[in-house]
Amino acid sequence: MSVRTIIEPFRIKSVEPIRWTTREQREELLKAAHYNLFLLHADDVLIDLLTDSGTGAMSTHQWAAIMEGDESYAGSRSYDRFRNSVHDIVGYTHIIPTHQGRAAERILFGVTCKKGDVVPNNTHFDTTRANVEFVGAEAVDLLIPEGRQPSLQYPFKGNMDVVALEALIARVGRERIPLVMLTVTNNSGGGQPVSMENVRQVSAICKRHRIPLYFDACRFAENAWFIKLREPGYADKTPKEIAQEMFRYGDGCTMSAKKDGMANIGGFLCTSNDLLAQQEKDLLILTEGYPTYGGLAGRDLEAIAVGIQEALQVDYLRYRIASTAYLGNHIAEGGVPIVQPPGGHAIYIDARAFLPHIPSSQFPGVALASELYLEGGVRSVEIGTLMFANAAQMDLVRLAMPRRVYTQSHVDYLVEVILEVFRNRAQIRGMRLTHEAPFLRHFTAHLAPI
């Protein structure tokens, strides 16, 4: 008999208690948090799907490596292990550690961009867009049309529109485009993958116009797995081989190691350009730390060195993608509109279709996320009009699955909560802003029901 059920490829060695609250308690807690789930205390959340960034469970091998951490200020052996492990995958000459991904973005755009520049991406995520705009450049999203249709089944909805990229270069001029970026997987677009063919096409355009190509590589391992599953010619390649091929088409990358680095903190910036690397290291020293620690403890470098290799293991990726799809498929069968097909690290509910009576100006994603918390203590995040304002192409609620944290029974509970909210969706009201910050407003915004 052949066993086909996919189970968690690990055993639980340590547990953390979670606390139940009543709906009445959650109503008061949400009101005190100004209806912004970022402002809730974590102890008041039962199932926390706010983000998969830094919220995963580390392996025994990572915890063992932490004990080897060398906390030397300069020339740490932990940096050597970190650099060698990352270089093994990305292949770039300079591996520059940072405390997380947005620090790598700030350094990259601070060095390469100036006011009036244009940075194309399949879809910029929130911190990426903010760091581009902070230096006075324009962040332009060039997602393929299929990627803007949540219910459409299409294997690589994260692809960049190469025709639109060529048109943008022709319109603004090559000299105004310091780099092109590809986000893999495409977080803002539903955790959707980018095909290797699309990577090749974008790379060819960049080389023809002598424009560097960078990857926002936060979820590179999940993207590699989708290529293995869906793209002809890759079924027999390992995820690591696929990732290595992808990085060869680029000139550098930014990375939050809190995602597919499987660590609780950390990131890096990579390039093979010696002059650019020196400028980046100079800025790194000013704001992050010496180039062999970059704002991280040696033990964090060790955890990343192990974790980034674990993220490419077949058993882990098979479980990771299947468990996320299990949640998406079950709520979709109950009529809940989601971004199809299910993404790698999260399920994205289409809030506009879920709450058609609430216009985008009244933040349907925030309204839905609030109701999920009220119903079951579930914390999620809006990716839509609050996060991106006029740049929002969809109003989504992201249910980001932390790595190696929740079990099958947690997911079944999530299904029950979401379906109950769906049954009562006509009673949900829109939201209005009462306070907002000039940048990344969704982190600290205050809202109130209409």
Residues 271, 137 share a domain: yes
- Among 314, 195, 187, 192, residue whose Cα is nearest residue 245: 195
How many other CB atoms are there within 10 angstroms of residue 195's CB atom?
A: 20
Same domain, 302 and 211: yes
Tell me the C-alpha distance between 33 and 379, whole Å.
13
How many whole angstroms separate alpha carbon 348 and alpha carbon 108? Answer: 29
> Which candidate, 57, 64, 63, 55, places its Cα nearest to that of 9?
57
Q: How confident is the model at residue 196 (pLDDT cuts 50, 70, 90)?
A: very high
Which CATH number is 384's domain given?
3.90.1150.10
Q: Are 193 and 224 in contact (CB under 8 A)?
A: no
Residue bearing the bigger pLDDT, 187 or 449: 449
d(CA 74, CA 271): 21
Please check whether residue 346 is in contact with residue 398, taking contact to mean a CB–CB distance below 8 angstroms.
yes
Same domain, 171 and 91: yes
Residue ending a domain, among 310, 337, 356, is 310
Residue 364 clears pLDDT 80, i.e. is over it? yes
Do 304 and 317 reside in the same domain of the chain? no
Residue 367 phi, psi (nearest 5): -60, -45
Do residues 283 and 338 both lie within one domain?
Answer: no
- The region that residue 242 occupies, defined by phi over 0 for left and psi between -120 and 50 for alpha, beta otherwise, is alpha
Contact 150, 328 (CB under 8 A): no
Q: Give the max Cα distance, the chain.
A: 64
Positive/negative CA dihedral, 161, 166, 170, 173: positive
Mean pLDDT calculated for residue range 282-289: 95
Instruction: Give how far Cα 137 sits from Cα of 119, 134, 154, 296, 387, Å.
Output: 7, 7, 32, 29, 19
C-alpha dist (Å) from residue 308 to 59, 230, 258, 298 = 12, 23, 10, 16
Q: Is residue 52 part of a domain?
A: no
- Host domain of residue 373: 23-45+313-449
Contacts of 348 (CB under 8 A, 6+ apart): 150, 190, 191, 338, 339, 383, 396, 397, 398, 399
Residue 127 sits at the vertex; the CA angle it makes with 124 and 129, to the nearest 5 degrees, is 40
| pLDDT bracket for residue 4 (50, 70, 90) | low
Same domain for 110 and 36:
no
pLDDT of residue 14: 92
Judge if 152 and 175 occupy the same domain. yes
| The domain boundary residue, chosen from 269, 287, 310 | 310
Model confidence over 293-305: pLDDT tens digits?
999 999 999 999 9
**What is the residue whose two structure tokens read 């392996």?**
59
Residues 305 and 332 occupy one common structural domain? no
Is residue 171 in some structural domain? yes
Residues 134 and 247 in one domain: yes
Domain termination residue (choose one: 250, 279, 310): 310
In a domain, 82, yes or no: yes
Is the same domain home to 156 and 200? yes
Is residue 363 in some structural domain?
yes
Q: Which secondary-structure segment (H or E) carries 173?
A: none
Query: What is the tally of structural domains in the chain?
Result: 2
232-249 pLDDT per residue, tens:
999 999 999 999 999 999
CATH number at residue 257: 3.40.640.10
User: Average pLDDT of 167-186?
Assistant: 97
| Mean pLDDT value across the chain | 96
pLDDT at 391: 83
Among 2-16, 212-226, 227-241, 373-387, the minimum mean pLDDT is found in 2-16
199 with 175, same domain: the answer is yes
Tell me if 14 is assigned to some domain. Answer: no
Q: Is residue 267 part of a domain?
A: yes
Count the alpha carbons within 13 Å of 183 in the hemisphere toward its beta carbon: 27
- Distances, alpha carbon 19 to alpha carbons 70, 92, 360, 376, 420, in Å: 37, 45, 33, 12, 21
Q: Would residue 429 count as lying in a domain? A: yes
Question: Do the domain assignments include residue 6?
Answer: no
DSSP three-state, residue 379: strand
* Band (1; pLDDT cuts 50, 70, 90): very low
Q: Are residues 231 and 363 both part of a single domain?
A: no
Residue 387 has pLDDT above 80, yes or no: yes
